[in-house]
Structure 1
Amino acid sequence: MKFLSTAAGLLLGVTAFGQDMRSYVTANTVPVATVETTADDYADLAAVGQAIGEARVVMLGEQDHGDGTTFQAKTRLVKYLHEHKGFT
């Protein structure tokens, strides 16, 4: 019985956390206008710049090594970081 109540408590906690996470993501999502690497308007990435603040190190990764769109988005982000945040 103790196991069952612990499992139920964990399940309720996960459900509550999931709802909190959903609210957080909804409140903090900013649309990206494009992943085209030739785009010169970086206004849509300003929120990323604000989140980075004055950090001098930013780690970038990707979910898949074969997805061209991911690399386009990363290239655009690196250009933004270099041109607007002073990363070299």
Structure 2
Amino acid sequence: MGVKLYYTTVTASREVKSQQSEIIRFLEGKNIPFELIDISVGGAVREEMREKAGKPSAAPPQIFNGDEYCGDHSMFSDAVEANAVEQFLKIA
């Protein structure tokens, strides 16, 4: 198991770039090990992310613990505000 962040290196959206950077900075700052999975390498990876999330239109960033869906950026931000990131990431 472990925290996985599905993200993209190919996007024109400043919002997506900002959201991804925010999550990465937080995880690194808290020394939480995580794996980056770039969906821009192929459609199969994007479809895998969407299937695991249970959302056909899911867009990065999406966060998982192993294959268990944790949430998207909005849900992550809510967990940060509530000081409940460990529970959100299912590592507590």
On whether the aligned pair clears a TM of 0.5, the verdict is no
Structure with greater contact order relative to length (CA < 8 Å, sep ≥ 6): 2
Choose between structure 1 and 2: higher strand proportion: 2
TM-score using structure 2 length: 0.28
TM-score, structure 1 as length reference: 0.29
Structure with the higher fraction of residues in helix conformation = 1
Larger radius of gyration: 1
